[in-house]
Each structure stands twice: as structure tokens, then as C-alpha cells.
Structure 1
Amino acid sequence: MNTSMIAASNTMGQIQRKLDTISHNIANTNTTGYKRRESTFTDLLHQQVNNQSRAALEVGRLTPNGIRVGTGAKIAQTAVRTEIGSLMQTDRELDFALTEKNHFFRIQTVENGVPVERLTRDGAFYLTENPDNAQTLALVTGNGDFVLNQAGNRINLPRNFQSINFSGEGQLLVTLNDGTVQNVGQLGLTNVLKPQLLDAVGDNMYRFPDLQALGLALLDVQENFASNGQTVSQGFLEGSNVDLSKEMTELIEAQRHYQFNARSISMADEMSGLVNGLRR
């Protein structure tokens, strides 16, 4: 296989990965709190071929001497973009939207039978029976994962309530049937200091990789804090930050790049056929 085939085939595989990323963004255009991902490319290993050994013949040359032969390009990074999506008013008591980038709700899910903490921007919450206390209800996500408070504990509400209000200090206030108001805690939030380290684990949730292997501590990548009236809006949901027109433009560009590299392989194959068909 000649050099042009190697470079084109390597690049085609990486362009396919970008196409997968773009298609994933498009598929989540209407997903609440979804953060789009963006792929960037870098060159693979290349070498300098000095095909002209007589410098006197290169006097007046405007381009660098020699030929640079590369082996294609690869995806350097698929970064998550944390820009805030548009806020959609729902007037639903259990809908909450984060108003600052890099802020996430803290939730608890179960993986392999072990409770683990995860992060999400999806603030569409619901109520379900508390498995630990039948007299209360638990605040959960649409997937049934528990919403955590500022101390990292589950948020529980009494059954006999009329309404839920989010105070300016960030407290969840529940009005009971007898008119009394009960404070059930504050939503637990985290400020992600290094969002590019986040791994998407599906169901609109994120986690950090093995921080010990990276030489980092949890305090180096996130700061937990309690919600307040400036960071959370009740009765709103954050839409996806995917710009459909931009994604379609990048999709067409990526397809054209893929076709160009595929054509390079075809041309190299045709040239090889011509060379093999030569007769003395």
C-alpha cells in the first residue's frame, strides 16, 4: 500500500468518528440539558523527504525545500461544550434549570449494585416512594435516580403536601395540607472546574474518570455547593445547546472530506493498476 492510501485510510476512520459525534448531537437536539460535543483534528506522524540534494538549483524558491509526507490526521479531542442552552418555561413545580455553565445537579444512581454519584444538567424531577420510609416521597430524575442535597443525601418530602416552592435562598419549601411550611433542604450542585475530563455515561449523566491515575484529587476538578436563587430557576428547563444548522453544516463538510479521501484511495489504486500494466 502506498503512502497516499495509508494517509487517506487513516483519515477516513477518524472522519467517521467525527460523523458519529455530529449524528449524536443531532439526535439529542431536543434532549433536556444535553451538552454537545465537538471534535478537533491534529496531524499524525510525518516525515521530511529532501529530494533535491543540490541547493544551488533551489535559489529563488518560495516554498520550503523538500517534500513533507504525512500519514493522515486523527481526532485530537472530542470536547464537551458547556454553553447554556435556551431556557424553556414550563411552570411545573419540579422543573429546575441551572443558569450558570459548568454547574451540575448531583444525583445518585446504582451501578453493579453499588450507589454512585453522578452529574446531570437535566432538571426535570419527579416524586416516587421512598424505599427507606413509606411515609415520605423521594425526589428523583426521570430515570428514577435520587436527587441529592448539599450534604450528599437524598431529598425526601412528606406525603401530605400541597405545593413545593424554591426560595431565593435556594431552599425547597413544602406547604403541607394544614398550611404549615417545611424546609426539606437545598438542591446539591457542583461546579465542575475541569469539564473536559467529564465522561458521558449515558442517560444524560456524567462522571469523572479515574482521577488517581491522572494525579488529581476530587477537589481539583469540582466544588460542591448548595443551590440558591441565582443558580437555579424553578418552573424552567434548560434545552440542548445544539445548534442544528451548525451541526448540519459540519455534517456536510465531514462527508465531503470523507469523499475526498475515498477518491484519493481510488486514484492511487488506478495509478497502481497503470504501473502494473506496463510492458517492456
Structure 2
Amino acid sequence: MNRTMITATNTLAQLQKQMDIVSHNMANIDTTGYKRKEANFTDLLFQQYNNQKNQDFEAGRLTPAGIRQGVGAKLAQSQIVMKQGALKATERPLDMAFTKEGQYFRVLEQTEGGTAVRFTRDGAFYLTPVSENETMLVTGDGYPVLDENNNSIIINGQAKSYKVTNNGRFIAEAANGTVQEFNLSVVQVNKPQFLEQKGGNLLGLPDGIDGEEIFTELNGALRGQIGMAQGALEQSNVDMSKEMTDLINLQRAYQFQSRSVSMADQMMGLVNGIR
């Protein structure tokens, strides 16, 4: 196998990964609160041949000295784009949407190993009964929504109205005038490149990674930084025209690398056929 074939096959495998990312973005264009991902490439190791022994001939050269032979490119990073999505009014009191970038709700997901804290921008919440006189605020998949103390939000009695303030305070008013207030758990993500998609429109931290530097809990005086709207949902920030353009460019790059493999195979066949 010659160098051309090695370079092309290495790049083909990485292009397939980028194609998977673009396809995933397109599939989630209608997913509430979804954030598109973007792939960045970098060169693999290359060899440099200093074929010019007489350095006097290199005087005035504007390009790097020698000849560089690479072995393709690799996917260096797949990063979440935190750009704000458009808001869609629903007039539903349990629908909530962030109006600022990088802010996430914290929810408790049931996993095979127990429970784990996840992050989501999907504010389509519901109430599920816990006991005869108690209901709990949950996501569309039934995961409990957490308050600022990382406890589930349990509402006593039957509430007649719900209100969400701009700084993330959830207020439930009962028919008898009793008011219950909860501060929703909200974090500001500072380093989104460390977050992993956990499925079901949820994000989480990799195993063994401390979240202290990755996100900031917006509690106490920091709650004034929260931007939230009630009766609305945030749409995904996927731009279909951009994704289609990226997909077309990817297809052409894939065809080019495939053609390189075919040409390298033909040249090896010609060489092997020499008698």
C-alpha cells in the first residue's frame, strides 16, 4: 500500500465521523433546546525531507523549506455551539426557555448505576403524581427537575396556577391561596467542549471530570444573571442551509479521497504488471 492510499483511507475514516455529526444536527432540527455540534480537523503527523543541500539556493524563499509528506487529517474536536435558538411561544405555564446563552437546567436521570445529574435546555416540563396530595416537576421523559439545593421539586396539594420569574423562581399557587416557591437549579456552562451528549437531549460530564471549572452554579447573588421566559420553548440552533452546504462539501471531499484510493490501486496494478 503506497502513501497515497494510506493518506486517503485515513482521511475517509475521519470524514465519515464529520458526516455523522452533520447528520445528527439535521436530525435534531426540531428538537427543543438542541445545540448543534461542529467538527474541527487537524493534520496527522507528517515527514519533512530537506532535499536541498545547498542553502544558498534557498535565499529569498517564501514557502517553508524542504518537502512535507503527510498521512491525512483527523477529527481534532467536536464542540457544542452555544448560540441562542429562536423562542417559540406556547402559552403553556410549565414551558420555560432560557433567553441567555450557556445556561442549563439540572435534572436527575435514572441510569443503570443509579442516578446522575444531567443538563438540558429543554424546558417542556410536566407534573407527575408522587403521592395522593403531592406532585413532582419532571421533564418530558419523567426525570425530576432539581432546585438550587439539588432536591426534586415537590408541590403539595393541587395548584391552580404556576409562575416562573426571570431569575428562575418557580411559584405554585394553590386554590386556597397558599404559595410555594422554588429556585430552579441553573448552571452557566463555561467550557462546553467538556460536555458529552447522554441521549434524550441531555448533556453530562465525562466520568472522572470535576465540574467546578466547567460550569458555575447560579445561586444566591448570581441568580440575577439568569434569563428565563415562561410560556415559551427554545428551538434548536441548527441552520438547515448551512448543514446542507457542509454535507455537499463533505460528499465532494469523500468522493475525492475515494478517487485517490482508486488511482493508487491502478498505479500499483500497473507496477505489478511490469515483466
Q: How does 1:185-264 map to 2 (within 5 A)?
A: 185-212=182-209, 217-226=210-219, 231-264=227-260
Indicate if the aligned counterparts of 2:103 and 2:226 stay in contact, CA closer than 8 A.
no
SS at match of 1:146: coil
AA paired with 1:234? Q
Match of 1:177 in 2: 175
Which one of 160, 163, 171 corresponds to residue 162 of structure 1? 160
Distance 1:64 1:239 in 2: 47
Structure 2's unaligned 5+ residue stretches are none
- Quote the RMSD (CA, aligned, Å): 2.0
Shift in alpha-carbon separation, 1:93–1:55, aligned structure 2, 3 A? same
TM-score by length of 2: 0.92
In structure 1, runs of 5+ residues without a counterpart are: none
- Matched with 2:21 is 21
User: 1:146 is matched by which residue type in structure 2?
Assistant: P
Give the aligned residue type for 2:180. N
| Equivalent AA in structure 2 for residue 182 of structure 1 | V
Matched residue SS, 2:92: coil
State the aligned residue count.
272
Corresponding residue SS for 1:106: strand
Task: Work out which of the residue numbers 132, 135, 139 in structure 1 matches 2:133.
Answer: 135
Please tell me the residue identity of whatever aligns with 1:244. Answer: M
Contact 1:155 1:184 in 2 (8 A): no
Q: What is the CA-CA distance between 1:219 and the residue it aligns to?
A: 2.2
Q: Distance in 1 between matches of 2:139 and 2:6?
A: 48
Query: Any idea what SS the aligned residue of 1:76 has?
Result: strand
- Per-residue CA deviation, residues 93-115 of structure 1 (Å, 9 max, x unaligned), is 00000111111001011112512
**1:126-177 deviations in whole A, cap 9, x for unaligned?**
11011xx431100000000000111111111234221111235543222222
Query: 217-226 or 245-254: which moved more?
Result: 217-226
1:147 match: 145
Q: 1:36 to 1:271 in 2, by over 3 A?
A: same
Indicate the residue corresponding to 1:3 in structure 2. 3
Separation in 2, partners of 1:62, 1:169: 57
> How many Å separate the matches in 2 of 1:120 and 1:153?
16
SS in 1 for 2:213: helix
Q: CA deviation at 1:65?
A: 4.3
Shift of 1:48: 1.1
In 1, the alpha carbon distance for the partners of 2:113 and 2:65 equals 63
What is the distance in 2 between the residues matched to 1:122 and 1:115?
Answer: 19
- Residue in 1 that maps onto 2:108: 108
Change in 2 beyond 3 A, CA 1:54/1:111? same
